[in-house]
Amino acid sequence: MAKTAKDLMNPVETVPPDTTVAKAARLMKQKNIGSLMVGEHGKPTAIVTERDLVRRVLAEGLAPEETLVSAVMTKRLFSVAAATPWDRILEILCRDQFRHMPVIEGGRIVGILSITDLTIMLAEMARSSRAGSAHSHDWRWN
């Protein structure tokens, strides 16, 4: 059976828009993640990613301790339904050059997945297709 967004997604971490970039970066490091949803009262309305921090903060010479996430977040959210097959998700991520994609079910964000999640799944598929081979490796880093 083909894996779907729901099978691959991870829990969502959310910060309020008035969080400093420095605090957001520390949370990403602590949780070992590359993005945070931005919102209030359990309703994410934007996303901030490592890419946003590099391009919109560091490359522009802004101070991470003074810059708010709301000033650098990506406001237009692109998402996929929980039932979306993995190959369609990969197509969207590659075509639109996204690295992170919120997963929607019942009108709510229920998780997030990344290009890394898909890469790990593909590596596991390759490994299982070579089952028994002397060249089989464990592709999980955590």
CA atoms within 13 A on the CB side of 103: 22
Q: What pLDDT score was predicted for residue 125?
A: 86
Q: What pLDDT score was predicted for residue 138?
A: 52
The CA-atom distances, in angstroms, between 105 and each of 63, 65, 87, 117, 134 are 37, 35, 19, 19, 41
Q: Is the pTM of this model over 0.75?
A: yes
Q: What is the pLDDT along the chain (142 residues), one digit of tens a residue?
A: 689 999 999 999 999 999 999 999 999 999 999 999 999 887 888 999 999 999 999 999 999 999 999 999 999 999 999 999 999 999 999 999 999 999 999 989 999 999 999 999 999 888 888 875 555 455 454 4
